[in-house]
Structures are given as C-alpha cells and as structure tokens.
Amino acid sequence: MKKVLSAILAVAMSMSMFVGCSNQSAQSQTSAAAGAADSTAAGTTATTTITHWYWADNSAYSAKMQEMVKDFNATNKSNVKVVAQEYPWDGGAYSETLFTAVVGGGGPDTSSFKLTSTPQFTANKLLANLDTYVSKWSDKDDIDSSLYDTMKQAGGSNSMYVMPWNTQVLYVYYRPSMFKAAGVTVPKTYDEFLTACKKLTRDTNGDGKTDVYGFGMRGAKGGQEPWGSFIWARGGDFTDFTSAKAVAGMQDFIDLYKKGYVPPTATTDGFNEIIANFKSGKTAMTVHHIGSSADMVKTFGDDVGAFVFPAGDKQWTSMGDTENVMFDKCKNKDAAFEWLSYLATGKGQETWCTATGNVPVSKRVQQLPVFQDNKFMKVSIEGQPHAGIFPILDTTTEWISTVWPNTVASALAGKTSAADAMKTLQKGLYGTK
C-alpha cells in the first residue's frame, strides 16, 4: 500500500510539474493575448492594453510618466489602456535589458529608446516599420522633416522604425559664484575653457588640499559624450580616432586628470557622481543636459548657469535623444501608434518636456512660453547647430559600455599613452571584434 501511495505521489509530482508548465504556458498565452486586447468582444467597449517600458532620471519624472499614462488612458477615444513599467537606465544597460527581453519573445509593446540601439534591433527584425502610420498621421508636419531623416539614417534604410520624442543637447553647467571667486569669465574658446579648469581648481581653506575641482569629468559609462567635445575641439572627429588632432584632444582630457583639475575618482564617476560632485560644490563645472536643470536650480537658485562647450578648431557637443519604438510583435499596432503619437506631438509631449526640460520635437510645443523663457533651453538651442551623435554601428553599445570606460581609465592612470588608447578605441568601434 505504501508503495502504491508513493508511486501515486511521484507521478503526481511529475504531473504537477507539467501542469505547472502547461498553466504557465496558458498564462503566457493569456498575457500575450492581453497585449493585443483585454477583450475579444467586438464593439467599442473592448479595451486594448499596451505595455510600455521607459526609464526616468528621478522619482519626479517617474511620477510624471505615470500621470501621463493616466491622462492618456482617460482621454483617448479608442479605449486603449497603457501600462507603463519603469526600468533603470543604468548607464545604458536599459537597452541591453530591453533587447534581451524582446529577442527572447517577451518585453513590452512599445518602449523608450535610444537611436544608438537601432541597428541592433533592426538587424534582428524586432521593430515595427512606422512608414505607413506616419504617412497617414495628421500631426506628421508638426515634427521637422530632418528629424525623420535622422530616425531613418539610424536604421540604415529608407524606412522609419523610431518615433521622435525629445532631444537633449549637452552643455556645460557652471557656478557663477565660483567663477567670480576665481576671477574667471565664461570661456568663449576651448583654450579659455582649459584655462578655466585650471583656475577654478582651488584650495579654499588653505590646508594645502584641493577643495574645488575645475571640471567634473565623467570617466564611467556615458563619459564618451563630453569627451567627444575635447576630440572635436582639437580638430579631430569620430571617423579616425588615431588622427593627430584626435589624439591631441585625448591628451587634453588626460592632462586635466593628471594635473589634478578633476576629482581623483573621475575614472569611475558616472552620472550620479558628477551631479553629486557639482551639487556639493566639489566641482565648478560639469557637462550634462537640460534634464538636470530643474534640480540644479532647486539646489543653487540663481547660482548656476550654462554655456555651450566652446569652440576650438571645431565645435561639437553630444545630442542625447530619447525616442520611442513599437515592437514588431505588438498585436495591436494602431493602438500602440496612438500612444506614441500622444507622446510625440500630443499632451504627452508638452507634459514630459515641461517636466524634464528636454527639447521638444513638436514645433507647436517648442513655441510655448515655458520653453521660450528658459535660460537652459536657450543654451540647448544655441548648441543645437553643433550637436551630433556617435557613429551608430553594431559595435557602438559595447564600445560605450566596456571599451571606452576601460580604455580611457587606463589612459588617465598613465598605463596607456593617448595615441595607444585612441588606437584601441578605433579598433573597438570599427574593428571586427
């Protein structure tokens, strides 16, 4: 009897596992179906659920996104229900998480997105082609055609896979009070900028130690963006990192570290560290975009200003972008596009850009007083003619997350020369492996 019972138990355990799998599979199917529609019943009452992924730089932006979702869900005429799920940006790891999820058959219907990830996603046929939707879209002309061209270039074809949302032009934040104390004026040339880094590095209490560093250098992931300005300022560019001019720009970057004009932690300082250092008064200048401006003003009031990274032989600043995409697996693309258009030109565009201070892509929203009267927005617009992006290749993501930070850290520590570091960076971006 005991043996019979144990046999039944063993079989039951085995069965329960399969039942578990089967239930899970059924649940997966249900969730997949829910992605398409909560109800298959015909008529206007059917609710279509769209899952959207996004990242937010702080908790206020998280709340704002949820507020927008609530507004969209309440006001859209097609009974679309968006469920927005937040994932951390984590220096670009967001894109990797998103790719892993979608390529594995999961992930959301729509997502916030960076242009640099486009080749990776289009090569795996993961993104929905938006050509038909955009061509029929009534708000199409509210976005400048050049932006559509940029979106198409990123995908390497004439089709559009990425929907514009907002841009961020990097500029230099500075503390006017520190400039005054050091007798420095806002630099108008690259050489003046380098001099300012030196003069602003000060021992303020006379104990023989540096209390304020001239520049908040970002050596961790994401630091390639401000670094690019140094390369261009010496006349280099991103087609050939090994050119003498590009190497000279790298040497300037190394010298700032070696001479002690930036915090010694610069090799591992990322977004959080450069912002914390600037806000605590440890650095007098740092590079970031308008997304930080509200927080800066909250901390310093009027004692914070901004200027475009100054011109040397050439002038360049990084144009950050945040776009949106719809995935090919999305079962209800019409509903998803309605959500994306709400973000691009609708109320979502106005709400998000007003909250974050990012540069809107909608011409209508750009004209609103809140953007016209903002000093940081003015600097962003001033920097736009010089703004660009890094080459979008299938190696770009790895280059940004691993190759650039480690190679530059090695150069800053004096383990590698500027020329050798640039050779490594060239190979990492344009090489085969």
Partner 1 sequence: MLRKKIDIWPYLLIAPALIIILAMVFVPAFNAILMSFQSYDLRRPSEIGFVGLSNYGEVLQDSLFWESLLRTVIWVVFGVGFQFVFGFALALLLNKKFKGRGIARSVSLIPWVTPGVLIGLMWRWIYDGSYGVLNDILLKLGLIQDKIPFLAQESTAFPSVIVTIIWQGVPFFALMLLAGLQGVPGELYEAADIDGANAFQKLFKVTIPSLKNTIFVTTLLRIIWVSNSVDVIFNMTGGGPAYSTQTLSVYIFNKATSLNLGYSSTMSILLTLLLLLVAVPYLKNMFKSQGA
Residues contributing to the site for partner 1 (CB under 8 A): 3, 6-7, 10-11, 13-14, 17, 93, 96, 99-100, 103, 119-120, 123-124, 209, 219-221, 263-269, 273, 276-277, 280, 282, 394-395, 397-398, 401-402, 405-407, 409-410, 413, 415-416, 433
Q: Which of 431, 401, 428, 392 is nearest to 161 (CA)?
A: 392
Residue type, 98: L
**Least distance in Å: CB of 181 to partner 1?**
21
C-beta of 260 vs 385, nearer to partner 1: 260
Nearer to partner 1, 140 or 423 (CB): 423
Q: Judged by CB, which is closer to partner 1: 119, or 312? A: 119
**For 268, phi and psi rounded to 5 degrees?**
-120, 5
Residue pair 87/65 in contact by the 8 Å Cβ criterion? no
d(CA 250, CA 407): 11
Q: How far is the CB of 124 from partner 1 (least distance, A)?
A: 5
Helix (H, G, I), strand (E, B) or coil at 174: strand
The least distance separating partner 1 from the CB of residue 84, rounded to whole angstroms, comes to: 25
For 256, the enclosing helix (H) or strand (E) is helix 244-258
The span from the CA of 85 to the CA of 108, in Å, is 9
Q: What secondary structure, in 3-state letters, does 395-422 show?
A: CHHHHHHHHHHHHHHHHHCCCCCHHHHH
Q: Which is nearer to partner 1, 13 or 42 (CB)?
A: 13
Q: How far is the CB of 25 from partner 1 (least distance, A)?
A: 14
**Closer Cβ to partner 1, 153 or 265, answer by number:** 265
Min separation Cβ 3 and partner 1, Å: 6
Q: Least separation, in Å, of the C-beta of 394 and partner 1?
A: 4
Nearer to partner 1, 180 or 259 (CB): 259
**Min CB(397)–partner 1 separation in Å:** 7
Query: Would you state the structure tokens that stand for residue 185, as one six-digit string?
Result: 């004026």
- Name 258's Cβ contacts closer than 8 Å, sequence gap at least 6: 412, 414
CA-CA distances (angstroms) from residue 357 to 99, 263, 294, 303, 354? 28, 28, 8, 18, 5
Nearest residue (CB) to partner 1, 87 versus 307: 87
